[in-house]
Chain A
């Protein structure tokens, strides 16, 4: 292969490298800001690529679904028997539900909690891709502002809270997972220990142990391994009552004043294919 080889002057190389380093620092610090919103160009590009990505992904997803459906067929008979027995209980559950809703409304007013799960509409979405930069803890879903999604909406799956929406474009959105090291992503939580409820704050996620770390619990408070951790509803972003996980390990801080509680998340972050976005009903 014949190639012309032009010599680049060393001073230009030094200049280019310096400029690139400065630009990279500026760009990355800008990009890591959580409140960065997509501009029109970014939004259009992202939508187009996500739509094509959905078409490309379609046969692979169908094949994978077919395989899992086939695997679950053997359990159908047993599941059907359980479902039949559950159907008989529905009427009594509905009556109980009405009474509980009324009770919940009264308690919300009394405790001054802004949002609970019943204040939300559920919107199901499919994960289209995960972030190429694995340290970023983002994934992309196939629903956007066209479907009523806004920045900062809570995203859950069947096992618990996953994260919140960011970078919303017309037909797609990103989900910033709760495992991110982003300090702006702290979530207020409640630890239920018998009748007592303790309020703490998720401080981060340890990838080695796969624990969420909770701080802000006094050393005098009783917390036991196996206690359940839910969102508290304080802070106004995450509604109360969504399961986060179970207490797995308890230590104290360096001053022996407060507890550091490690929680095993209920959600499996390695296998997220379908998610549910909680849309506030007053956003409709």
Chain B
């Protein structure tokens, strides 16, 4: 299962770069294909990890990779992913894991990601966008978040069952 996780995270890393070439870069002209693919993959993968330590290592490695290659924000994405990991841990505790809830978690994670980034940009007085634009960003991310989460949910579930993989424990 750990190999499947690494491959799916690498796939989302390159998908992030690939899709960026076919869409506008500005925050005012976002396309409906905008999404933080790696974050969504992490949300889908989280219930397959009973060992938090291993999942946290994956978040650290892939968060740093995303930070260095596509966002140039040192370890900002990594820290946000970590925060979202704890949010999802809480959600997974209260809700069962199915297509509906995983999409709900993904949407909440995506909103958290953008809201946290927005709040920190405001704190640091980086005048790049306002609250209306934040809503637009979240709106533009919604469709692809649901599509990609559903795709990854079915794909990973299929691989998990087909190859009779085990949950990642100690």
Contact = CB atoms under 8 A, between A and B. Distances in A.
B38 to A, nearest CB: 9
Given A13-B86, A28-B76, A57-B21, A3 B14 contact: no
B28 A207 contact: yes
A60 B72 contact: no
A128 interface: yes
Interface residues of B, number: 56
B72 A24 contact: no
Contacts of A29: 124
Interface residues of A, number: 59
B17 A1 contact: no
B26 A134 contact: yes
Contact of A270 (B17, B26, B89): B26
A129 B83 contact: no
Nearest to A273: B21
A30 B76 CA distance: 10
A221 B1 CA distance: 69
Contacts of B97: 1
A3 B47 contact: yes
B21 A25 contact: no
Interface of A: 1-6, 8, 13, 16-17, 20, 23-25, 27-32, 36, 38, 42, 45-46, 49-50, 52-53, 56-57, 60-61, 127-140, 167, 174, 177, 179, 181, 207-208, 210, 269-270, 272-273
A13 B89 CA distance: 12
Interface of B: 13-14, 16-18, 20-30, 34, 36, 47, 50, 52, 64-66, 68-77, 79-80, 82-83, 86, 89, 92-93, 97, 116-117, 120-121, 123-124, 126-129, 133, 137, 167
B97 to A, nearest CB: 6
Given A57-B21, A132-B36, A134-B30, A49 B71 contact: no
Contact of A135 (B21, B27, B75): B27
A167 B73 CA distance: 11
A6 B51 CA distance: 11
Contact of B92 (A3, A27, A31, A179): A3
A258 B123 CA distance: 31
Nearest to B48: A1
A130 B64 CA distance: 17
A17 B79 CA distance: 10
Nearest to B51: A4
Contacts of B137: 134
24 contacts: A3-B47, A17-B86, A27-B74, A27-B79, A28-B120, A31-B76, A36-B74, A56-B17, A57-B21, A60-B21, A128-B21, A129-B16, A130-B23, A130-B25, A132-B71, A133-B71, A134-B25, A135-B128, A136-B72, A137-B26, A140-B70, A177-B25, A181-B126, A269-B25
Contact of B73 (A52, A133, A134, A179): A133
